[in-house]
Chain A
Amino acid sequence: MREAHAAHEAHAALQHQFDTLEQQKEASTLGMWVFLVTEIMFFGGLFCAYLIHRRQAYEGFAEASFHLDVGLGAFNTAVLIGSSLTMALAVWAAQVGRGKACFGFLVGTIGLGTVFLGVKVVEYSHKFHEHHVPGERFHWTGAHPEAAEVFYSLYFAMTGLHALHMIAGIGVLAALLLPAWRGRYSAAYHNPVELTGLYWHFVDIVWIFLFPLLYLIGRHG
């Protein structure tokens, strides 16, 4: 009964341009991978600018990085890795047709993502109060003010772009909640959850690179 119901649901999800659900799944998976490649190139430009400026002004970058809160950054890293775990579990639950479990894990992922964003809000407000936000109100008391402003410009650009991607990801996760609760996902049809998982893991991996590059310059022990 459940399989028939699931099969009917799956058939309803087949779009007209595809011949089979399998073809649709392969196409949308490839589409998500291609999209992630564009995202790598998008972030890549920022990483490239960062690496070149860092090479030019290493001491300045190290000095500026020191004023980021490593504790909060490390905490956020753990939070995000945890959210990738809940995301992977959500995908598994969708694959085996356990809608309520899938719902729970999606909620967990959204929750952890929100915690991450909350911590970023706290960090950004710290920077605001310390006058480390680039622009007119930037004020640096250390030895390398120009390099520090470049560092923080790249910090806000890179973590800001990352945060925007997380917000978009949370939006997509939210859109999966209702169908998951209603048991729409099964072995035959769970691609939306799987592709969202791909996207979420990508956003996580970007952070794995951002954290050491931004927070851990020159910190040796």
Chain B
Amino acid sequence: MTIATAAPETHATPEVKSYLGSAGWDLKSWLLTRDHKRIAILYVISITLFFFLGALGALLVRLELLTPAGDMVQADTYNRLFTLHGVIMVFFFLIPSIPATLGNFLVPIMIGAKDLAFPRINLASWYLYNIAGVLVLWAILMGGVDTGWTFYTPFSTTYSNSYVTLTIVAVFINGFSSIFTGLNFIVTIHRMRAPGLTWFRLPLFIWAHYATSLIIVLGTPVVAITLALVAVERSLGIGIFDPALGGDPVLFQHLFWFYSHPAVYIMILPSMGVISELVAAFARKRVFGYHFVAFASIAIAVLGFLVWGHHMFVSGQSAYAGMVFSVLSMLVAIPSAVKVFNWTATLYQGSISRETPMLYALGFIGLFTIGGMTGVMLATMGIDVHVHDTYFVVAHFHYIMVGGAIMGYLGGLHYWWPKMTGRLYPSFWARISAILVFVGFNLTFFPQFVLGYLGMPRRYWAYPPEFQVLNVLSTAGATILGIGYLLPFTYLFWSLKYGQRASDNPWGATGLEWETTSPPPTENFLTPPVVTKDAYDYRDFDETAERRPHLAREEEEYA
């Protein structure tokens, strides 16, 4: 893509004030901002805090599981810890993560707009997130909730003695935060693209966020009303889901999973969008099969709504319904496989950099493949009977969510960090962290596949002694993984003050975001862009050394 006037910039010139400093640093200008970029930064802070809270829950769980006996905390406490881990990680980290941070920052810029369609709704989304966050923290401090993040009835409606209603209110409010983001993205992508930016010239990051937003607006309201019914049932003692009062506990599962399965696609699609961008940028090549990757995102969103019953093969659901869900689950795996093949093919005859974002992208592709294959294993009814509700399932979804989604988030964060902050981070420590994350992750979760097939059920505080070795390996891996997460937290923070200043386009990538300053001005572009090319078009890439001062770091690397 070219803009009308191309001026090679090295860094933000003093006259062009960036969005970071332009409106002042006072708190009010941040807390009442309507700038999508500032809201993205606010979200980075919020979700990072909640990520570490959720990770603390995981750490305590894994410490308890070092020994077969329940000897570190009481059983009740353990149940609250794994619930905390699930609720925080799913609702307060994974669902918002990429859309609310990278999406908020980049969607307007990538399409050449000045902001999202509804900036005030965007800010409201962040406030709703934090109100929900305060409520869930309050619930935790008062003692927490012990139902698991899945709130199965009648345990959650009738038997649990924990702060179920308060937690549900928090999740309910958080749902609206999510809906506002999705609504904003849909309208923005439809109505605010720059001149010349047709649908099939959009970056795949945008396609991914569009598909994600479709899922958000269709699915989230259903879980909202379902959890609201649980809260009402719990408070009033009515019988929608409790059979002792005439209700149906399997109805809860259907309503819950109708959202919660598509929810996992909310968590992975944005990450896949990031990977498309990373692979293109760090192979300096257009993504192979662009149309197929774009359509695959939509196909995943649509098919994702039709497979929820694969969580319920042994629940009492009829075998025939199970068969329908099983075959549809096989279908939904195909577009994901197509993406993996297309990303791999993109590397062929590329010019592949070994920068940190690419390491995360390649790690994602490998780990997502394993996660995806174990997913179709779980969708196979004969196998699921044995491994349902065991550590096999836990391993599967962590391969997708952590090996997939979080690696995509970290890769994207490292890729767009110079754009968002105007700073480069130390690449040595960044690569070390990526490797630690990859190694630590596999050590944590691969043993869990074996544990699950051996029969260790989920949510177990104490377990038979023959499972100990694998649990110890898993906890050891978790420690390494934790260090891998703490390192970026440290050096990225460090780079804000001491990092080398970034040029407009330090990676030499294509995309409208790289044709404005790092960081961008408040209105995103000095001149509104007009788009004349497809995405990832490197044909006009200027290779002459004299006109490449912005690739300073690359020069050092390949000198």
Q: Enumerate chain A interface residues (CB-CB to B < 8 A).
A: 15-18, 23, 26-28, 30-31, 34-35, 37-39, 41-46, 48-49, 52-53, 56-57, 134-136, 146-147, 149-150, 153-154, 157
Contact = CB atoms under 8 A, between A and B. Distances in A.
Contacts of B497: none
A38 B221 contact: yes
9 contacts: A17-B108, A26-B191, A27-B187, A27-B188, A30-B187, A30-B190, A37-B218, A45-B221, A52-B251
Contacts of B247: 53, 150
Given A53-B251, A150-B238, 10 more contacts: A17-B119, A28-B117, A28-B118, A31-B117, A42-B221, A43-B225, A45-B226, A46-B225, A49-B255, A53-B248
B246 A147 contact: yes
Contact of A53 (B115, B236, B240): B240
B180 to A, nearest CB: 9
Contact of B117 (A17, A35, A44): A17
A31 B246 contact: no
Interface in B233-282: 233, 236-240, 245-248, 251, 255
A28 B116 CA distance: 12
B245 A146 contact: yes
A135 B118 contact: no
A153 B218 contact: no
A187 B67 CA distance: 73
Given A38-B221, A41-B219, A57-B246, A48 B113 contact: no
B84 to A, nearest CB: 26
A201 B217 CA distance: 20
Nearest to A26: B191
Nearest to B255: A45
Instruction: Determine the main DSSP class of A at the interface with B.
Output: helix
A38 B239 contact: no
Interface string B172-194: 00000001000110111011100
Question: Which 5 residue pairs of A and B lie closest in terms of their CB atoms, listed nearest first?
Answer: A146-B246, A45-B225, A42-B221, A17-B115, A41-B221
B255 A48 contact: yes
Interface centre among B118, B187, B239, B523 (most CB of A within 10 A): B187
B554 to A, nearest CB: 35
A134 B236 contact: yes
Contact of B232 (A17, A26, A157): A157
Contacts of A153: 232-233, 236, 238-240
Contacts of A27: 117-118, 187-188, 190-192
A43 B225 CA distance: 8
B220 interface: yes
Contact of A154 (B187, B240, B523): B240
Contacts of B113: 17
A26 to B, nearest CB: 5
Given A23-B192, A39-B221, A42-B225, A149 B187 contact: no
A20 B333 CA distance: 42
A53 B233 CA distance: 15
Sorting the interface of chain B by its residue count into under 10, 10 to 19, 20 to 34 or 35 or more gives 35 or more
A149 B237 CA distance: 10
A31 B247 CA distance: 37
B229 interface: yes
Interface centre among A49, A147, A150, A157 (most CB of B within 10 A): A49
Contacts of B224: 42, 45
Given A30-B191, A31-B183, A45-B255, A56 B225 contact: no
Contacts of A48: 255
Contacts of A135: 236-238
B115 A16 contact: yes
A139 B232 CA distance: 18
Contact of A52 (B116, B183, B190, B248): B248
Contacts of B118: 27-28, 31
B327 interface: no
Contact of B239 (A23, A46, A149): A149
A123 to B, nearest CB: 19
A146 B188 CA distance: 48
Contact of A38 (B183, B226, B232): B183
Contact of A17 (B114, B190, B219, B220): B114
A57 B255 CA distance: 19
Contact of B245 (A17, A18, A149, A154): A149
B221 A149 contact: no
A134 to B, nearest CB: 4
B246 A150 contact: yes
